[in-house]
């Protein structure tokens, strides 16, 4: 609760800082300090809240439990890492640097609400607080037509999915007479109201839009490709992960009792997401576009956790969110240093910047799910969650097959870096500080791969 207030206040502080500070790099320094402050507030929240009893706020519209607190803290930690790694690049996007950081703090406010909502109203508000700043961030490179186009597309699709989400919420209200998500667990599968079933499907489609699941993924590549790269890195990681957390919270807490009604639909969506994401990523020429398709493919794996209605799925989504976010932010940081975003742009990077090439390799290993990296443990946990459920064996096999395909397009980058001749052009030489940060990020990826329990120790 303190974190929600702090994120809002820090966002406003950041906006006023934009009026006062003319120097861009001091704005970035302020943003980094404030991000650390927010992390501190989150840890304070985590320590101060008793471990056993969840706390309700606003007439129980927010219900802050251990998972919510820990997830918010982790996502804030990822944001701190993001500001440290990408802060310098955000300066180059446009003139309103302070406002961009302010919007990121507002997005974090949405993340916190989504991690602890207990009422459909809060779900709706959280999704909107999360989305509206992103429409602006997508269009922040005002001189670039592609950026405006991405913003318009994202906005139209986002508003459309909001309409669908609201229709779902209304139908559920019509069926139960309540907005409280715990009340929906009274829905019984034997006497299921068609209104409730319609509502569940509508909400599933709307949340599928937000997490870019397959039939609703069409906006993702265009938006991620068109947005300025620093903001793509944020959209593809923290935002997507928290949309997933909202998804799993709703579908386990409230629709868990009627899971036999919706898991079939969701399993088809998961299979389609894996198939389309992986197969289309193979044919891309630009690494940025490949990464946006790969984020669809990774969403397919995260859907495994939603599909499995059990406790392992919660652990799985937390590990997946962190491992995927750190690796993706790392790879985007390297990508931003390069002039050419195609595979050819990576040619010969290993000779020129051996360290940069090495950390990129580790990040790509993690995304592909090679053992000893965070991505492997993440995939292990979500697949284990489905296996415990003992229902969708075909989907697990299909997922493993698709993971094998994903190795192809991730390793293309590694082959370009190590085995192809060329002169990978960088915008500027990589400084010592950036190298240290990248190595730390890389260390985190491996640490999660070896001790995934670290991420679960606070739950």
Which residues contact another protein (rule: CB under 8 A)?
120-121, 124-125, 128, 132, 135-136, 139, 142, 145-146, 148-153, 155-156, 159-160, 162-164, 166-167, 169-170, 173-174, 177, 179, 221-222, 225-226, 285-286, 289
CB of 53 to another protein, least distance (A): 26
In the bound state with another protein, the residue whose beta carbon lies nearer, of 228 and 449, is 228
In the bound state with another protein, the residue whose beta carbon lies nearer, of 173 and 380, is 173
User: CA torsion sign, 19 to 23 to 24 to 29?
Assistant: negative
Rounded Cα gap, residues 161 and 208, in angstroms? 9
In the bound state with another protein, the residue whose beta carbon lies nearer, of 40 and 163, is 163
In the bound state with another protein, the residue whose beta carbon lies nearer, of 20 and 285, is 285
Of 166, 67, 65, 62, nearest in space to 119 by CA: 62
CB of 132 to another protein, least distance (A): 6
In the bound state with another protein, the residue whose beta carbon lies nearer, of 75 and 175, is 175
One-character DSSP codes across 35-100 = HHHHHHHHHHHHHHS-SSS-EEETTTTEEE-HHHHHHHHHHHHHHHHHHHHHHHHHHHH-S-HHHH
CB of 152 to another protein, least distance (A): 5
In the bound state with another protein, the residue whose beta carbon lies nearer, of 233 and 271, is 233
Rounded Cα gap, residues 209 and 84, in angstroms? 30
Rounded Cα gap, residues 194 and 200, in angstroms? 10
Q: Is 188 helix (H, G, I), strand (E, B) or coil?
A: coil
In the bound state with another protein, the residue whose beta carbon lies nearer, of 153 and 249, is 153
**In the structure, how many helices (H) and strands (E) does the chain have?**
18, 2
- Enumerate the β-bridge partners of residue 338: 426
CB of 308 to another protein, least distance (A): 31
CB of 326 to another protein, least distance (A): 28
Contact (CB, 8 A) for 436 and 358: no
Rounded Cα gap, residues 303 and 273, in angstroms? 9
CB of 236 to another protein, least distance (A): 16
CB of 50 to another protein, least distance (A): 29
């Amino acid at each position: 609760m303190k974190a929600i207030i702090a994120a809002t206040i820090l966002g406003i502080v950041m906006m006023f800082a934009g009026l006062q500070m003319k120097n861009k790099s001091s704005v970035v320094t302020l943003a980094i300090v404030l991000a650390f402050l927010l992390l501190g507030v989150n840890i304070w929240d985590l320590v101060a809240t008793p471990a056993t009893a969840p706390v309700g706020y606003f007439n129980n519209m927010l219900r802050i439990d251990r998972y919510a607190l820990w997830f918010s803290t982790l996502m804030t930690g990822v944001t701190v890492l993001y500001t440290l790694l990408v802060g310098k690049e955000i300066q180059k996007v446009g003139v309103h640097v302070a406002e961009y950081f302010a919007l990121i703090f507002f997005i974090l406010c949405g993340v916190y609400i989504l991690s602890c909502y207990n009422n459909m109203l809060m779900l709706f508000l959280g999704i909107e607080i999360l989305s509206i700043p992103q429409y602006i961030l997508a269009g922040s490179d005002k001189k670039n037509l592609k950026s405006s186009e991405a913003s318009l597309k994202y906005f139209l699709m986002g508003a459309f999915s909001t309409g669908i989400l609201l229709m779902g919420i209304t139908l559920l209200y019509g069926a139960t007479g309540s907005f409280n998500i715990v009340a929906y667990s009274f829905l019984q599968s034997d006497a299921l109201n068609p209104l409730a079933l319609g509502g569940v499907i509508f909400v599933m489609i709307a949340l599928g839009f937000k997490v870019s699941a397959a039939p609703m993924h069409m906006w993702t590549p265009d938006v991620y490709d068109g947005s300025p790269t620093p903001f793509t890195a944020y959209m593809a990681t923290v935002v997507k992960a928290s949309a997933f957390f909202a998804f799993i919270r709703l579908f386990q807490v409230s629709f868990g009792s009627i899971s036999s009604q919706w898991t079939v639909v969701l399993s088809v969506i998961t299979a389609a997401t894996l198939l389309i994401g992986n197969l289309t990523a193979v044919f891309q020429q630009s690494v940025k576009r490949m990464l946006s398709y790969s984020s669809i493919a990774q969403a397919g794996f995260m859907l495994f956790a939603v599909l499995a209605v059990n406790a392992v799925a919660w652990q799985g989504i937390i590990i997946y969110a962190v491992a995927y976010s750190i690796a993706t932010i790392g790879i985007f940081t390297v990508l931003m240093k390069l002039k050419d975003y195609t595979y050819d742009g990576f040619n010969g990077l290993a000779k020129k910047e051996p360290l940069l090439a090495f950390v990129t390799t580790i990040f790509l290993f993690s995304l592909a799910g090679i053992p000893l990296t965070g991505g492997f443990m993440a995939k292990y946990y979500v697949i284990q969650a489905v296996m415990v459920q003992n229902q969708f064996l075909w989907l697990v096999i299909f997922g493993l097959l698709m993971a094998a395909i994903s190795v192809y397009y991730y390793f293309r980058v590694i082959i370009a870096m190590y085995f192809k001749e060329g002169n990978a052009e960088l915008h500027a030489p990589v400084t010592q500080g950036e190298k240290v940060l990248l190595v730390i990020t890389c260390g985190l990826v491996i640490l999660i791969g070896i001790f995934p329990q670290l991420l679960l120790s606070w739950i």
